[in-house]
Amino acid sequence: MEITVSSETLEKSRVKLTVDVPLEEVEIAYKRAVRRVSDKVNIPGFRRGRAPQALVERHAGVESVFREALDRLVPAAYAEALKQTEIQPVGSPELELLQAEKDQAVSFAATVPVKPEVDTGDYRAIQITKEKRLVTDEDIEVVLQSLEQQLVQWDEMDRPVEVGDRVKLDLRISVEGRIITNTPGGNLIIGENTMPEGFDEVATGMVAGQERSFILLLPDDYAVEAVRGKSADFEIKVLGTSQKRLLGMTDDLAKATGDFETIDDLRADVRKRLEQRAEQDADQQAENALVHELVSGSTFEVPDVLIEEQAQRLEQREAFEAAQRGIPKEYYLQMINLSEEEWKQRLQERAEGMVRNFIALDAVASQEEIAVPAEEIAREIEQSMANYRMQIAQQEQPAGMIVTEKQPSKDQVQAQLQQMEQYLNSDASRTNIAMNLRMRKTIDFLKETVTIEEVTVEAKAEESPAEEASAEAPASQTT
């Protein structure tokens, strides 16, 4: 295609291309558009694609045919402009038609985001501190106490119920004669449940076989919106009662995990897991600090379109993940306590940080000629497929279980695997995998190049291993 193109460098790593398409090229594009429109419409007396131009224009309209021509002409001219100027865009262009009339040359402007020029500074001189949290005996005890609560034993009793006891009971709740809850044989712990205020006081002191009826006011945040704030009739019958028995810091606690014989063995395992977690956290903190120093010491402009596109990807991913868990977006926003505007602003800020990190790391990778061989991409695809096969296998119902949902057939499973394999081997996927591997290799290179001082620090007051207790519990307790 013959075109004339001029370029102008703009701020924020953008280039403005002004493209002029001569009349001869416009006429060729228009004739091709006539044939395409003719193939789509029914004109009496002619087979599709055979009607003369005048009839096609009369039937579909000249403007409609011309728009069809522009829809193919402008993208083709834009691609040719990129080829002539050797510009490599990093995002979608902003197009503006400057002149677009039938029987005239066509002119348009394309504002193209391009990879920014980056001055990374002397990144080899970066100095950071890797802070590894000291694991103390107190940390071990916190995890063990949490594990002890998870493995609590319940012993049947014949005394009246007290706070902290577990009650098995039939429960019926009705409002204005309409039953809203009817739960036979449910279990709840007195003082540790979601019942309305006053329920625990009534239940305290009851014994197995006893029944009580009483009235309570349902709270304003009750699950059933229609009855919030209304008086409800409660009927309960205690079927059985049990009291909590903690195993204590004994060998019984270790054996209850299924993996250890003595409490000392369990303590040693918990210490090992906490130290591994501390090392992982320290590595991540050091990487974050390293990338932060790299970005802070670099100078470059960020195309707005890259931030917008990354923010859209983050938004789509969060919304998709919420939908996968059956959570509509409006409820998801309530869960994270943000308005939609605040949520999008947060995603925008995250996106900008991610784009800045990528640009700086990409510049280092280019300077150091860090590449990703094809065999590494192939290994990553193979590992991803292995992980996906395992996920599919874990979704299958074990033999002997009652199947409550229709399970996919072997053919359906095979189709899912084929679709995933096709996706992972697509050009877009391979490009994304290569980019991620290149960033990983660049960070590893920097960690070997810059100065990293390793220090051990005590946990801050707000950091508690109790929050990690479930993650650090023995494997049999985290399945």
pLDDT in tens, 21-77: 999 999 999 999 999 998 888 777 777 767 888 888 888 899 999 999 999 999 999
Measured CA to CA, the distance from residue 177 to residue 170 in angstroms comes to 18
Structure tokens at 433: 């995998």
Q: What is the pTM of this model?
A: 0.71
CA 274 to chain CA centroid, Å, is 26
Measured CA to CA, the distance from residue 385 to residue 398 in angstroms comes to 22
Strand partners, 215: 233
Measured CA to CA, the distance from residue 96 to residue 48 in angstroms comes to 34
Structure tokens at 10: 């703009």
- Cα-based distances in Å from 26 to 64, 73, 76, 140, 365: 15, 7, 12, 76, 43
pLDDT at 171: 96
Three-class SS of the chain: CCCEEEEEEECCCEEEEEEEECHHHHHHHHHHHHHHHHHHCCCCCCCCCCCCHHHHHHHHCHHHHHHHHHHHHHHHHHHHHHHHHCCCECCCCEEEEEECCCCCCEEEEEEEEECCCCECCCHHHCEEEEEEECCCHHHHHHHHHHHHHHCCEEEECCCCCCCCCEEEEEEEEEECCEEEEEEEEEEEECCCCCCCCCHHHHHCCCCCCCEEEEEEECCCCCCCHHHCCCEEEEEEEEEEEEEEECCCCCHHHHHHCCCCCCHHHHHHHHHHHHHHHHHHHHHHHHHHHHHHHHHHCCECCCCHHHHHHHHHHHHHHHHHHHHHCCCCHHHHHHHCCCCHHHHHHHHHHHHHHHHHHHHHHHHHHHHCCCCCCHHHHHHHHHHHHHHHHHHHHHHCCCCCCCCCCCCCCHHHHHHHHHHHHHHHCCHHHHHHHHHHHHHHHHHHHHHHHCEEEEEEECCCCCCCHHHHHHHHCCHHHCC
Strand partners, 187: 168
| Contact (CB, 8 A) for 283 and 340 | no
What is the identity of the amino acid at 63?
E
What is the identity of the amino acid at 259?
D
Measured CA to CA, the distance from residue 25 to residue 248 in angstroms comes to 86
pLDDT at 477: 37
pLDDT at 479: 27
Measured CA to CA, the distance from residue 181 to residue 235 in angstroms comes to 10
Measured from the Cβ of residue 170, the count of other Cβ atoms closer than 10 Å reads: 15
Taking alpha carbons only, the member of 3, 207, 192 closest to residue 107 is: 3
Positions in the chain whose pLDDT score sits under 70:
49, 394-408, 460-479
pLDDT at 475: 39
Measured CA to CA, the distance from residue 227 to residue 217 in angstroms comes to 10
Measured from the Cβ of residue 254, the count of other Cβ atoms closer than 10 Å reads: 23
pLDDT at 406: 53
Please, what's the b/e burial string for 331-364 (b: 16 or more CB within 10 A of its CB; e: otherwise)? ebbeeeeeeeeebbeebbeebbebbbbbbbbbbb
| Contact (CB, 8 A) for 261 and 478 | no
Measured CA to CA, the distance from residue 177 to residue 190 in angstroms comes to 27
Measured CA to CA, the distance from residue 396 to residue 241 in angstroms comes to 37
pLDDT at 467: 52
What is the identity of the amino acid at 22?
P
